[in-house]
Chain A
């Protein structure tokens, strides 16, 4: 029987060090690797053998991270990069050039939205944003020059649950791949490839590393998409002058994307991950299953508390989480994420911006900062931080209320978290 999730989380991709028997993964903090002889050097450069040449392209510590995440996701391989943003950029830059077009969910992390809406158009790559719940909108937005469909498994900020089966069906009808950002769910809660996604990426900064210590990203290839049959990706299925005239689809029937992303993308764009960072992310992954279970348990405790404080007599106007029956994607979440779906969510305080500020300032256990997916509980008030320049009207158009609070529930004792939130709610009520 194949090894199970928790065993792979600890072992996949690694065997004890052969020189000294080190059980923990050695950190190969080296830029380069000595060739055995000139023949070996030539064979590595020409992809006749596997191995490492230079740490911008690959590194033994980083390779363990890549192999482990690929194993957990059920992919053919993975590629670790400097951040989640670098991961998204690498996928796009591998699949298209100027003239390319993307159809993306409009419920995206702000950084991803910026890249697609403002930065990539300068390089000739455009995006049509669609309501992620509207399958007809996805289909209607596809153009002859479209090369990718992209959404988040759980959208931002309303935790819209992406109908991966439905959107991938549309993608495949048009011979296009579906990329998903799986950062919030991790492979512990949902495996996008089982539902039809072709490529995925994580901001490993969040739950994979899990301790708020390191920035990193990782792209995983399902190996399911047939680039040659699609006929829309000559960069993956025709000879490439930039790498020995190699036809990546001839070299590997299932990993052409990863070959080009590494051999061109990492080589030329250079957004590699430090082996030190790879080690730290792997330390997090060793306990991924345990942590995600606790994240979800704590989230459910906090949700119950917040729902109690909602309504006419409470301080809260609404709570947005797919676990709750009034969320529009409640049934889809139950079906596709039976273990739970997120420890990051939002709720709206009654009152104006000042209520949000008072809430945040009263908290002692939750840390006020711009991150999610830490072992420690985190909080942010978008109207006074990330979106503070926006008018109340513009905020509403972005799906954000002046009193919207985003929580990322950590691993503390849930009773302490609830006590802390009570202090915040009391302060908000007095503001």
Chain B
């Protein structure tokens, strides 16, 4: 589906052919927010399932990413505000909100500012703060292909580096590399910089009442499981699930486990 946000065409994947993709007021809605230098298709093995199991499903391409027009937003706060405008445009009052990596910061920021809009919150490969090394920021700014290779390598566990994709014939590292290469020049640095600069008052996390599920991989080299555990400890209403052998790209590395965890949490 294409919708205009801030006068820019925005692509939202809904898991169904456009001719059948309508938002039904009688159904719960789930929104998937992708991470840095990615687009909606990173949720392929979760979003389509929800679309066919009773949920209005929305996986937008953030501004400047994938098929969405506009410039990338320079801060997590701007991105969360943009997602809220998208929800408004779609007349969605309350949603299940899922975010991965940078997307998890956006989701968390919305939950902290507008808790009434979030029925449940799912944060995948998440930590606050989410520092990005100077070397990676520099590569993203000046040598994007190098930054993409670095992140692609760090995003996959030792097992995932050997593959064994659940989707027949697909080579996970190659697909992730190409997806990142598909994004426009300048997007990566803007995204990583937004992650690096995001901070919040830890006291706010304690007060967050939105039921929260945090999912991490114990082999995540981008955001350590230790950092995700720390975040879980700070949010009283949270639970942590650690996927053994999982890295940062959990939606493709462990698609069935991630889907099962989200499905169980949302349907509880």
Contacts and interface: CB of A to CB of B under 8 A. Distances in A.
Contacts of A43: 49, 52
Interface in A71-88: 71, 74-80
Interface residues of A, number: 55
Given A76-B178, A253-B39, 9 more contacts: A2-B173, A49-B255, A50-B166, A70-B171, A246-B17, A252-B41, A252-B175, A253-B182, A255-B170
Interface of A: 1-3, 8, 11-15, 42-43, 46-52, 57-60, 62-64, 66-68, 70-71, 74-80, 222-224, 226, 228, 239, 244-247, 250-255, 258, 262
B170 A67 contact: yes
A77 B162 contact: no
Contacts of A77: 165, 167, 169-171, 174-175
Given A46-B52, A63-B169, A245-B19, A71 B174 contact: yes
A34 B256 CA distance: 17
Contacts of B20: 245
B98 to A, nearest CB: 16
Contact of B164 (A67, A70, A223): A67
A49 B179 CA distance: 20
21 contacts: A12-B163, A14-B163, A14-B164, A48-B48, A49-B49, A49-B166, A50-B167, A57-B168, A62-B168, A63-B168, A67-B163, A75-B174, A77-B167, A223-B175, A223-B178, A244-B17, A245-B19, A251-B41, A254-B41, A254-B178, A254-B179
B72 interface: no
B153 interface: yes
Contacts of B159: 15
Nearest to A10: B162
A14 B162 contact: yes
B66 interface: yes
In the complex, which range does the number of interface residues on chain B fall in? 35 or more
A412 B13 CA distance: 56
B161 interface: yes
Interface in B9-40: 13, 16-20, 39
A48 B49 contact: yes
Contact of B162 (A12, A57, A244, A262): A12
Give 6 nearest A-B pairs by CB, closest first. A245-B17, A50-B166, A58-B168, A66-B169, A223-B178, A70-B171
Nearest to B41: A253
A59 B229 CA distance: 38
B157 to A, nearest CB: 12
Contacts of A49: 45, 49, 166, 255-256, 259
Contacts of A255: 170, 175
Contacts of A252: 41, 44, 175
B117 to A, nearest CB: 26
Given A223-B175, A258-B170, A251 B44 contact: yes
